[in-house]
């Protein structure tokens, strides 16, 4: 009797621990998904003004302190990427270049420039949505996570709202391909 009672008790404890862990993990996942959805909202703002739809938010202590979207065409700046602008805003807000107590959420895997800026700003955690096989510098073209000699290592997690972060980009470029190309002959210079 004692043994079966003990087994039941242990089984109940194990189940409770599993349920607790499940809810803790779910809560953690839901938190990241929430912030990534805010980044996706920024990506949507970029799409509305015909910019490549990428968005980013910077979070500190649970509060969103900066949000931005890609403005490369609008600003006519190659560096006007969503996460780069979001980090600039965060630095202005906090009055420091050092963002070591901040987390960055961005819908697309950061490029070389942005990955460099993320490391220089000492971002604590980077969460990105979908991979960029052509320019990603975290896991794709360059695997910055494997460069051990860097003096700062950002913790990276990916795949939050991956499908939606990728879908908005795919739809944008599909639409671009379907539009008639500009007649370049009008730009020819008479000799
Ligand atoms: Zn970038």
- Given this model, what pLDDT does residue 28 score? 82
**How far, in Å, from the CA of 104 to the mean position of ligand 1?**
13
- Given this model, what pLDDT does residue 5 score? 75
For residue 68 the two structure tokens come to 């931005």
The neighbourhood of ligand 1, an ion, using CB within 5 A, equals 81, 111, 113-114
**How far, in Å, from the CA of 62 to the mean position of ligand 1?**
24
For the chain, residues with pLDDT lower than 70 are: 1-3, 17, 19-23, 181-191
pTM, rounded to two decimals: 0.84
Q: What is the pLDDT of residues 2-44, one digit of tens each?
A: 567 777 777 777 777 676 666 677 788 899 999 999 999 999 9
- Given this model, what pLDDT does residue 80 score? 98
Query: What is the C-alpha radius of gyration for the chain, rounded to an integer number of angstroms?
Result: 22
Residue 16, CB-side half-sphere exposure with 13 Å CA sphere: 6
For residue 52 the two structure tokens come to 């490549």
**Which residues lie across from 157 on neighbouring strands?**
127
Q: Please list, residue by residue across 86-116, b when 16 or more beta carbons sit within 10 angstroms of its beta carbon and e when fewer do.
A: bbbbbbeebeeeebeebbbbbbbbbbeebbe
**How far, in Å, from the CA of 135 to the mean position of ligand 1?**
9
- Given this model, what pLDDT does residue 191 score? 45
Is 3 one of the annotated active-site residues of the chain? Answer: no
- Given this model, what pLDDT does residue 11 score? 75
């Amino acid at each position: 009797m004692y043994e079966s009672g003990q087994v039941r008790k242990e089984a109940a404890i194990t189940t409770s621990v599993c349920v607790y862990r499940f809810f803790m993990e779910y809560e953690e996942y839901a938190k990241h998904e929430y912030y990534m959805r805010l980044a996706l909202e920024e990506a949507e703002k970029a799409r509305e003004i015909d910019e490549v739809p990428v968005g980013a938010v910077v979070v500190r202590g649970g509060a969103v302190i900066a949000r931005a979207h890609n403005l490369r065409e609008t600003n006519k700046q190659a560096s006007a990427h969503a996460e780069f602008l979001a980090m600039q805003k965060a630095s202005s807000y906090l009055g420091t270049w050092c963002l070591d107590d901040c987390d960055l959420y961005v819908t697309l895997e950061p490029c070389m420039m942005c990955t460099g800026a993320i490391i220089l700003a000492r971002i604590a955690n980077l969460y990105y949505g979908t991979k960029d096989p052509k320019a990603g510098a975290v896991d794709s073209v360059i695997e910055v996570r494997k460069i051990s000699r860097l003096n700062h290592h950002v913790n990276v997690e990916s795949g939050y709202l991956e499908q939606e972060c990728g879908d908005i980009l795919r739809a944008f470029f599909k639409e671009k391909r379907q539009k008639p190309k500009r007649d370049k002959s009008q730009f020819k210079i008479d000799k």
